Homo-oligomer: A and B are copies of this chain.
């Protein structure tokens, strides 16, 4: 099996880090997004949204969407669970994973796409929306700061896929100049803890 990705994009890093935590070796195929590799018909037939990363199984079945790929490996490699163990913990991981995705990662991504015009050959940038997304992403950091004042990781003492999503989103946020500030003492403590994991180099 193999994963099609682009090394510098933030979503593929989530999957690489997830697999590194589980000790799963993987073949990675690099696609040049700016050059449109992912838009080619051969790729579109494997992965209709043309988004990366996507996983191709040995029988040719393809799975797109980062969290769907993670879900697959959580099920096939249940050791070192990253999506929770009890019903409540599984729900909490899903909750924080999605909160980080919708209110921070997605906002950062749209800020990048709409203010830089990086993909303007394949979408219509709306700069005013990009600026609004940047403000919303920054505002959500205060929510996370408050939550991490009382939690080691996003889900209490349990390191999970939600932390992976936040780390990858925070590192990517630098491209739109969103960084942790002095008032984010707990986020900075969390960042040191999570970014020092071996898997963060994946």
Please list the residues of chain A having a beta carbon within 8 angstroms of any beta carbon in chain B.
48-49, 57, 61, 63-65, 67-69, 71-72, 75-76, 86-88, 90-92, 94-95, 98-99, 103, 124, 126, 128-129, 132, 143, 146-147
Contacts and interface: CB of A to CB of B under 8 A. Distances in A.
A145 to B, nearest CB: 12
B88 A71 contact: no
Copies of this chain present in the complex amount to 2
Chain A residues touching B, majority SS: helix
Given A72-B88, A90-B71, A64 B99 contact: yes
* Interchain residue pairs A-B with the least CB separation, the first 8: A75-B87, A72-B91, A68-B95, A129-B129, A68-B94, A126-B129, A65-B98, A65-B95
